[in-house]
Amino acid sequence: QVQLVESGGGLVQAGGSLRLSCVASGRTFSSHAMGWFRQAPEKEREFVAAIRWSGGSIYYADSVKGRFAISRDNAKNTVYLQMNSLKPEDTAVYYCAAKWKDWSTRGYEYDYWGQGTQVTVSS
């Protein structure tokens, strides 16, 4: 069982930065791939970024490539999402999620989800 708690969301102006954190409980964190997803009002949840259990493989959605960076610290049971050059269209609730071993862009393949943290980017 893995429990996930996100933090770091907030209100930021366009062009600004935020760093989201997701702390996991459970001894098997280092065996899980971690993903970040987001959901804007009246829109479907979408994939943002993911990192393999070992950190050796990372993937980004085209919409955030070059602006966002995912990383993990297995010693701290934490995954991060550094978000730079934020745009109003990045406004959403951001969720972290965990699945065994390898990452996926498909949300339904993830077994565990956090409660989400709100990110609002003003223009």
Nearest 5 degrees, angle CA 13-CA 97-CA 1?
140
Question: Which range is most confident: 54-58, 71-75, 85-89, 98-102?
Answer: 85-89
Average pLDDT over residues 52-73: 94
Name which of 61, 38, 59 is nearest 50 in CA terms. 59
pLDDT score of 111:
94
- The pLDDT-based confidence of 1 (bands split at 50, 70, 90) is confident
pLDDT score of 54:
82
| Distance separating alpha carbons of residues 80 and 122, to the nearest angstrom | 22
Name which of 2, 61, 53 is nearest 36 in CA terms. 61
The percentage of residues in the chain with a pLDDT greater than 70, rounded to a whole number, is 100
Mean of per-residue pLDDT scores for the chain: 95
| 11-60 residue pLDDT tens | 999 999 999 999 999 778 888 999 999 999 999 999 999 999 887 899 99
Q: Which backbone phi and psi does 79 adopt, to 5 degrees?
A: -120, 145
